[in-house]
Amino acid sequence: MEQTIKQPDNIKGQISPPGDKSISHRALMLNAIADGTAEVKNYLPSADVSSTIKCLEAMGVKIEVYDDKLIVHGTGLDGLKEPNDILDAGNSGTSMRLLSGLLAAQPFLTTITGDDSLRSRPMDRVIKPLRLMGASIWGKSSNGLAPLMIKGADLHGIKYEMPVASAQVKSAILLASLYAQGTTTIIEPIKSRDHTERMLRAMGVALNISGNEISCLPPAKSLKSLNITVPGDVSAAAYWLVAGAIHPSARIEITNVGVNPTRSGIIDVLTEMGAKIEIKNEHKEGGEPVADLIVKSSQLKGINIEGDMIPRLIDEIPVIAVAASMAKGKTTIRDAGELRVKESDRITTTTAELQKMGARIEELLDGMVINGTGKLRGAECDSHADHRLAMALAVAGLVAEGDTMIYNAEAVNISYPDFWSDLDNLTGQNEDNS
């Protein structure tokens, strides 16, 4: 599917982003192994979350899917069943990596695979720690890639210093540790998103957290099912934050956005760049901080983005590159080598696509340098089947001179199926050329 974006006269209105992807996956997986039935409201109804639903259903978990909520019938810690067939995580790294931790402790055999993109992403990062815990787990290409084959085993706790900051790896180890004998301690190089820790605690699991060190003290006897209203996804809100900041006539109110500090780097970085962002109605939902955000047209300036900030905005970097192209001065993004192993190599794909639009952007090994010129021009671009790139390019199209055509625009279904209609509602300028 192709999508054409024109520069609208103004971008004005109110929007509620879809439910958070990371929290939706976790609410499904953790409630699947909890005692009792849980209601998950405002979940994200996207392709990635549907991959997790299908994998859990294949292991005997009953999940009722409604438009506005899921009802997850927990099987208890020991209630999952051996699936009849290979599990398919689709495009979803979160499904594959987190489920690997869970499967490592189940008394049966599973094989889990994914699409071309997921089968090219590193899996040794979960295989290594799970093997140290006693898991029997193998992967293609000398245990580096999916498909993964996992034969459940008795696990034991480990002390593990993670070589990369990854919430998916941390969460896989935490899921395995629920079944392990003895304490499991994980040390992160930089703190990554902490939704798993928050949810496990809310379900009654004893975790000690001190700085970047997390200890899980089970084996857990049981998890209490957790009714939750999933906050809006700040990674989805990011597109409207940038659109509002860079368009000359914009005011967008984005309601019900998750502003967990391990995820809200986009707000801090845009504010440092000069974006006018107001944060209102701060409150908590399901143990997660939530707020409404108002963004207005702003004059942005270039900044340096690196170090501890990176995991707090890792998924937002493609759209930050768009903001930086429209800013005055130089933006340097470093320490973001992880972008090379996302749904696409986001350093190469973001650079190549924004160059087509006239951006002065160059690759670094671990980031990018963008010399903001304050203008972009419409071009024929490709999402590279990467949802975040498709949406970042759409935002670039909203300020570009002339039309921007985005090929493979359906990639948005991975994390934000209503993206094109939300864009239409805010701008009235969107055309579907499929």
Binding site for ligand S3P (CB under 6 A): 22, 93-94, 166-168, 171, 193, 314-315, 338
**Minimum distance from residue 164 beta carbon to ligand S3P (Å):** 7
Q: Residue 432 CA to chain centroid, in angstroms?
A: 26
Catalytic residue among 315, 382, 386, 422: 315
Of residues 33 and 172, the one with the C-beta less far from ligand S3P: 172
Of residues 247 and 384, the one with the C-beta less far from ligand S3P: 384
Give, in order, the Cα–Cα distances in Å from 337 to each of 137, 347, 351, 368. Answer: 26, 8, 14, 10
**Minimum distance from residue 142 beta carbon to ligand S3P (Å):** 20
Of residues 169 and 220, the one with the C-beta less far from ligand S3P: 169
Rounded to an integer, what distance in angstroms lies between the CA atom of residue 23 and that of residue 156?
27
Of residues 315 and 386, the one with the C-beta less far from ligand S3P: 315
E strand map for 16-86 = 37-41, 62-65, 69-73
Rounded to an integer, what distance in angstroms lies between the CA atom of residue 195 and that of residue 82?
27
Nearby residues of 151 by Cβ (< 8 Å), 6 or more positions away: 108, 109, 136, 137
| 34-51 burial: b if 16+ Cβ within 10 Å, else e | bbeebbbbbbbbbbbbbb
**Minimum distance from residue 274 beta carbon to ligand S3P (Å):** 26
Q: Is 424 a catalytic residue?
A: no
Of residues 247 and 387, the one with the C-beta less far from ligand S3P: 387
**Minimum distance from residue 388 beta carbon to ligand S3P (Å):** 8
**Minimum distance from residue 171 beta carbon to ligand S3P (Å):** 6
Cα angle value 58/60/63 (rounded, 5°): 90
Question: Which amino acid is located at 243 in the chain?
Answer: A
Rounded to an integer, what distance in angstroms lies between the CA atom of residue 23 and that of residue 34?
16
Q: List residues with catalytic annotation.
A: 315
